Amino acid sequence: MRLIGISDIHGEYEKLCRLLENISPQKNDTIVFMGDYIDRGAKSREVVDKIISMQDICNCVYLIGSHEYAMLHAPNDEYYNYLFWNYGGDATAKSYGSFENIMKVHADFFNSLKPYYIKDNYLFIHAGLRIGIPLEQQNLVDMVYIRSEFYNKKHNFPFKIIFGHTEFDKPQIRNDKICIDTGCGKYKNAPLTAIIIENSTEKFMNSDD
């Protein structure tokens, strides 16, 4: 069984398909999709349809990202409405035909997204955790938006944390955490990267492999 993490797809459907083809998921594998499925790229709706369809092939877990959080709160919160439309939401609305269609088509999916997922010695999350606060007391806004306060400090949680949200040229590997966001959707030629954990060994694969 392989434990696979994929984060920050950002509407890049073709890169997602190439990465999944490279990974070749099997029945006993678990893929943790770690948020930011939408915005920036042109095919957010196709991305969501694709990752939902992966349930027919292997075990799938779906986490919430900052862009899904902003989209869900945009109708009733001026700040998140600003974030959604200024960080690629126009591409998502176009993909679905309109902003209103996003929830008409995929409400069940977006409303079911989890904040994090724990398996074995790993915790998967979109952005990270606020260090010094117990897991059960963490704020969801931190879980999807936190950056340097998390990744610049060593944490004391009893897991290796796999996260995305903050893009780097290549996966950032530290003893206590690994970031797999390599800029897909934000930079034209940036690949989509996955972490593959098998028999306690961590390796990486991307859409260009």
CATH of the domain at 109: 3.60.21.10
pTM of the full structure: 0.98
Round the CA-based radius of gyration of the chain to a whole number and report it: 16
The mean pLDDT of 172-186, rounded to a whole number, is 97
Q: What stretch of H or E contains 93?
A: helix 89-96
- Which stretches does DSSP call E strand in 48-168? 59-62, 116-119, 122-125, 160-163
pLDDT of residue 27: 98
Domain hosting residue 10, numbered range: 3-206
pLDDT of residue 39: 98
Query: Residue 61 — very low, low, confident or very high, per pLDDT cuts 50/70/90?
Result: very high
Name the DSSP letter for residue 57.
Answer: T
Q: What stretch of H or E contains 47?
A: helix 44-53
Q: Are 141 and 120 in contact (CB under 8 A)?
A: no
The 10s digit of each residue's pLDDT in 102-129 is: 999 999 999 999 999 999 999 999 999 9
Query: Residue 153 — very low, low, confident or very high, per pLDDT cuts 50/70/90?
Result: very high
Domain count, the chain: 1
Q: What stretch of H or E contains 61?
A: strand 59-62
Residues whose CB falls within 8 Å of the CB of residue 11, separated by 6 or more in sequence, listed in order: 37, 38, 39, 40, 41, 42, 43, 44, 47, 88, 91, 92, 95, 185
pLDDT of residue 162: 98
* Structure-token match 């996955």, residue found: 194
